[in-house]
């Protein structure tokens, strides 16, 4: 859920939000084009691939993700992970808006072409997409 962004409150320099990951969920391998990110783990535990490193983070843990660095995050164990994220510049929230539905509505799958469009709008490259937006 986005809390601070250009659309939410006019911030032109930061994006802040929260997200829950359930067992079996994951944030797939991707990199942000031009935005640094900080992820803070509020509850649960995750396994993080960051560049060439791997680490497990638990509640209270934090990871700094420099722009243009490949990262993926996956819950560890059977608990839901609650986390918060901050981006150094707007952009990625456009992907989140493009790829999500309002609370309470059933998600509908998007096509690979729609996902590519969302990725381009959100300044992000996902490793599994054949064609990726350029910085």
Q: List, for residues 79-132, the tens digit of each pLDDT value.
A: 999 999 999 999 889 888 888 877 788 878 888 888 889 898 899 998 876 444
The label of the residue with tokens 């799958």 reads 109
Class of domain 2-90: mainly beta
Give 65-110 as a DSSP string: E-TT--EEEEE-SSSPEEEEEEESSSSHHHHHHHT---TTSPP---
Pairing state between β 37-43 and 62-65: antiparallel
Q: Would the pLDDT of 135 be above 70?
A: no
- What pLDDT is recorded for position 129? 62
pLDDT higher for 73 or 94? 73
Q: Would the pLDDT of 73 be above 50?
A: yes
Considering the entire predicted model, what is its pTM? 0.84
When pLDDT is averaged across residues 18-26 and rounded to a whole number, the result is 95
Percent of all residues in the chain with a pLDDT value above 90, rounded to a whole number: 59
Q: List, for residues 35-47, the tens digit of each pLDDT value.
A: 999 999 999 999 9
Compute and round to an integer the Cα radius of gyration of the chain. Answer: 14
């Amino acid at each position: 859920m986005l809390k601070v962004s250009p659309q939410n409150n006019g911030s032109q320099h930061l994006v802040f939000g929260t997200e829950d990951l359930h067992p079996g969920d994951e944030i797939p391998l991707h990199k942000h084009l031009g935005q640094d990110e900080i992820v803070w783990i509020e509850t649960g535990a995750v396994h993080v691939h960051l560049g060439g490193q791997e680490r497990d983070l638990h509640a209270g843990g934090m990871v700094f993700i420099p722009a243009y660095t490949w990262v993926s995050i996956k819950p560890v164990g059977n608990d839901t992970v609650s986390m918060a994220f901050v981006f150094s510049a707007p952009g990625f929230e456009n992907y989140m808006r493009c790829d999500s539905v309002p609370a309470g509505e059933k998600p509908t799958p998007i096509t690979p072409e729609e996902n590519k469009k969302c990725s381009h709008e959100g300044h992000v490259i996902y490793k599994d997409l054949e064609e990726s937006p350029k910085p």
